[in-house]
Amino acid sequence: MKKSVVSVKYMSIKYLAHFYFFVLGKLKTKIYTLVMKKAGKNVFIFSPFRCTGPEGIEIGDNVVIAENCVIGGQGGLSIGNYVMIGNNSTIITANHGFSLSDIPMARQPLDIYPVTIGDDVWIGANVVVLPGVNIGQGSIIGAGAIVTKDVEPYSVVVGNPAKLIRKRFDEATIQKLLSKDSALYKYYKRDYLKTNKPTVYKPD
């Protein structure tokens, strides 16, 4: 009897957690994306989430943004398909100007530069992406990295400032993957946020 009561309590807590994180999470995501310039299918944004300039943010399909992320769209932000952004990450598209000598920096016009994140990018936890950066398709940004300059496709970068440690594939493979005929993935068939068992289809 005692074991049964514990089991019921466990299932109740599990159901409430699922409801809070995923059912309410989808509703919150819908509200966030309604004010963005564009948002694709199967976008999921975990709370808490903060963004400025949402009208400048474009998000592709099958994108997951983890907890405590801060994203700015004032300078323009484009996020591709199948992008994962780890918790506590920050993407900045505008900075305070500091070129004028007779006005405090807090009152100077913003310097704005767009950020572009390609398809199939994995941004680790606690990453900072600075204005004007382009992150190429298939790249991995290691946890805690500060991305100050462009990242070439299929690169693995880490550190502050972020530096290349290796490419994921050889150059011939990368060029093939970047072509319009590439079949890198047929991607996920099922919603892994529900099943936690993604089905990944590799190219034929």
pLDDT of 170 strictly over 60: yes
Q: What is the pLDDT of residue 28?
A: 83
Q: Give the distance, in angstroms, between the CA of residue 53 and the centroid of all CA atoms in the same chain.
A: 16
Structural domain boundaries of the chain?
Answer: 14-201
Total Cβ atoms within 10 A of residue 45: 25
Across all residues in the chain, what is the average pLDDT?
83
pLDDT band at 12 (very low <50, low <70, confident <90, very high): low
* Residue written as token pair 């807590």: 13
pTM above 0.85, yes or no: no
Lowest mean pLDDT among 116-120, 178-182, 186-190: 186-190
Question: Any idea how long the chain is?
Answer: 204
Q: Amino acid letter at 26? A: K
At the fourth CATH level, which superfamily is domain 14-201?
Hexapeptide repeat proteins (2.160.10.10)
Q: What is the 3-class SS of 93-147, one letter each residue? A: CEEECCCCCCCCHHHCCEEECCEEECCCCEECCCCEECCCCEECCCCEECCCCEE
45-72: pLDDT as tens digits: 988 899 999 999 999 888 999 999 999 9
Give the C-alpha separation, 152 to 175, whole Å: 12
Q: Which helix (H) or strand (E) holds 63?
A: none
96 is catalytic: yes
Query: 185-204: per-residue pLDDT in tens?
Result: 544 444 444 444 444 434 33
Considering 30, 38, 96, 189, which one is annotated as catalytic?
96
Phi/psi zone of residue 96: left (φ > 0), alpha (ψ -120 to 50 degrees), beta? beta
Amino acid identity, position 65: I
At 47 the pLDDT is: 85
